[in-house]
A = this chain, B = another copy of it.
């Protein structure tokens, strides 16, 4: 028995998210269907990071246990031939049986992209936001979330988790022309966390709130205080680190 690690890229535009659900097209379901076609057996895959409806992935990781010997080159070609064009299998690796896409993950890296000018070519992969945004304020806010914090304020309600502690190792805003990119790496992420963080930082960056307000929101541990979630299509799951 081995574990098979899959690295996936997908365009979240036409998906209800990563996870299987009754009504709606999920990445997991499409992937499992493709594996069924190639291996001729029912497989349930585990996902390394759950992405919501509309969220993209460049480096999502999935895994499944296999007793079959798998020729990874043929497997990759076969899966890519049967997957719909908005999902691609970027890499396949045979791992020790213990490997699990979710439980073995040490950290996840997400990227959120904002375009300050209208764009047609990138419109499905960014938040087009035309109000003035103060990059200095965004940077100040992002510094506050680095380290170990309880992130209740940025966790979508309806989520059932034992605790809200995340250890954020990187949280940084960069500007390149009219493109702003927020990169965040954390050992774990709560439900809706990156989009709530971005929405709330943007409220400070546009002057609706102060940097001090941002700190209060973080410390208040109440989702009601945070800003609106930033739109899903600006978010990409970049990488999962093991």
Bound-complex Cα distance A21 to B88 (A): 36
Cβ-defined contact, A120 with B10, below 8 A: yes
- Convert A119-142 into 0s and 1s, putting 1 for each residue whose CB lies closer than 8 angstroms to a CB of B: 111010100000000000000000
Known: A85-B123, A123-B85, A123-B86. A118 touches B10 (CB 8 A): no
- Residue on B with the closest CB to A236? B121
Please classify the interface of chain A as helix (H, G, I), strand (E, B), loop, or mixed, using the class held by over half of its residues.
mixed
- Residue on B with the closest CB to A77? B130
Q: Which residues of B contact A123 (CB under 8 A)?
A: 11, 85-86
Interface residues in A79-98 (C-beta closer than 8 Å to B):
80, 85-90
Q: Which residues of B contact A58 (CB under 8 A)?
A: 121
Bound-complex Cα distance A90 to B118 (A): 7
Q: Which residues of B contact A11 (CB under 8 A)?
A: 120-121, 123
Bound-complex Cα distance A236 to B85 (A): 21
Cβ-defined contact, A87 with B9, below 8 A: no
Binding site for B on A (CB under 8 A): 9-11, 56, 58, 80, 85-90, 117-121, 123, 125, 236
Q: When A and B form their complex, which 6 residue pairs have the shortest distance between CB atoms, in order from nearest?
A: A88-B118, A9-B120, A88-B120, A11-B120, A10-B120, A86-B120
A-B contact pairs, 25 of them (CB 8 A): A9-B118, A9-B119, A9-B120, A9-B121, A10-B120, A10-B121, A11-B120, A11-B121, A11-B123, A56-B121, A58-B121, A80-B118, A85-B120, A85-B123, A86-B120, A86-B123, A87-B120, A88-B118, A88-B119, A88-B120, A89-B118, A90-B117, A90-B118, A121-B125, A121-B236
